[in-house]
């Protein structure tokens, strides 16, 4: 019996506990902050107990042993373990805000002064940037979820969606977003569609989204929209086979417009439908999913 293993890593304060709870709800046996030295013995024990689904969270608290993890993951894959690796990321500003709100101490902060706020923030930012360096290799080999501006319920939904995707050679994640709220950190490719005709300026269409038929019909009547879809489709079709040969598990394609409500949502829906005939294709709507 093959073991289904999900490894969750990421920045401190990015939502690893929320993701782990989502996996627990999905029926996974979950372990938080497992030291890398114990990973292989732990997996061996799970095999003995004929466990089916296990989720493990690791973070920078493991310190000097973190470099062991990539090689361990390769060994587990060769041994037949069905492995998915998720990395939760967030902007530095978002992480600083969360630490300020909770008054928690960053695991890499050795000396925080509570009386000198600017100095405290400086030390915190330094700790966050150091953490990024220490986790860079783990991030490169994982599917990244940007948690900067999403709610815990959205994160739980995204995690469950990813683990439910079939273990194919490549999974495509199409994500719509609003440029006014920032570009997603988890994007492998970003396409700007703000130059396309905007339904926002049609009063009857303004409260609707790119998933509603009146907006879909309106956008389909514009040649520029069809041309943009064709250009994105052509680009991805040309390079997806090469990405699959490079052993990529996930590719996130972000489509951005001004508000993340009409044009980007429409194109994500159409692209996910079109590419879903060949690849495992998931879709996210960052500005809509939390509504």
Coil/strand/helix, residue 173: strand
Residue 14 counted as an annotated binding residue: yes
User: Nearest 5 degrees, angle CA 268-CA 272-CA 278?
Assistant: 155
Residue 195 counted as an annotated binding residue: no
Residue 90 counted as an annotated binding residue: no
Across 122-158, b (16+ Cβ under 10 Å) vs e yields ebbeebbeebeebbeebbebbbbbbbbbbeeebbbbb
Residue 60 counted as an annotated binding residue: yes
Coil/strand/helix, residue 62: helix
Taking the C-alpha atoms of residue 137 and residue 116, their distance in angstroms, rounded to an integer, is 34
Both tokens of 180, joined, read 């006014």
Residue 251 counted as an annotated binding residue: no
Taking the C-alpha atoms of residue 276 and residue 268, their distance in angstroms, rounded to an integer, is 12
Residue 193 contacts by C-beta under 8 Å, 6 or more apart in sequence?
228, 255, 256, 257, 263, 264, 267
Closest CA to 190 of 181, 179, 201: 179
Read off the DSSP letter of residue 61.
G
Residue 143 counted as an annotated binding residue: no
Residue 62 counted as an annotated binding residue: yes
Residue 157 counted as an annotated binding residue: no
Q: Within 10 A of 44 (CB to CB), how many other CB atoms are there?
A: 11
Residue 78 contacts by C-beta under 8 Å, 6 or more apart in sequence?
none
Residue 225 counted as an annotated binding residue: no
Residue 10 counted as an annotated binding residue: yes
Taking the C-alpha atoms of residue 174 and residue 212, their distance in angstroms, rounded to an integer, is 18
Annotated binding site: 10-17, 59-62
Annotated binding site for ATP: 10-17
Annotated binding site for GTP: 59-62
């Amino acid at each position: 019996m093959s073991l289904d293993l999900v490894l969750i890593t990421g920045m401190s304060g990015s939502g690893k506990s929320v993701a782990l709870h989502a996996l627990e709800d999905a029926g996974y046996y979950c372990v938080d902050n497992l030291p890398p030295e114990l990973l292989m013995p732990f997996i061996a024990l799970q095999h003995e107990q004929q466990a089916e689904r296990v989720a493990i969270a690791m973070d920078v608290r493991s310190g000097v042993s973190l470099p062991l993890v990539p090689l361990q993951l390769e060994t587990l894959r060769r041994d037949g373990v069905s492995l998915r690796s998720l990395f939760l990321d967030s902007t530095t500003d978002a992480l600083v805000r969360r630490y300020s709100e909770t008054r928690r101490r960053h695991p890499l902060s050795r000396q925080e002064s509570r009386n000198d706020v600017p100095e405290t923030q400086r030390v915190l930012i330094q700790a966050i940037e150091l953490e990024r360096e220490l986790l860079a290799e783990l991030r490169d080999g994982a599917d990244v979820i940007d948690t900067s501006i999403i709610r815990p319920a959205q994160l739980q939904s995204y995690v469950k969606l990813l683990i439910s995707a079939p273990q194919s050679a490549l999974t495509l994640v199409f994500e719509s977003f609003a440029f006014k709220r920032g570009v997603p950190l988890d994007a492998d490719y970003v396409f700007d569609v703000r130059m396309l005709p905007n339904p926002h300026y049609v009063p009857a269409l303004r409260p609707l989204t790119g998933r509603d038929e009146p907006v879909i019909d309106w956008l389909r009547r514009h040649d520029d929209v069809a041309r943009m879809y064709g250009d994105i489709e052509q680009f991805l079709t040309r390079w997806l086979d090469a990405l699959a040969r490079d052993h990529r598990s996930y590719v996130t394609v972000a489509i951005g417009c001004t508000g993340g409500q009409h044009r980007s949502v429409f194109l994500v829906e159409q692209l996910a439908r079109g590419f879903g005939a060949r690849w495992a294709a998931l879709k996210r709507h960052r500005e809509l999913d939390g509504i």
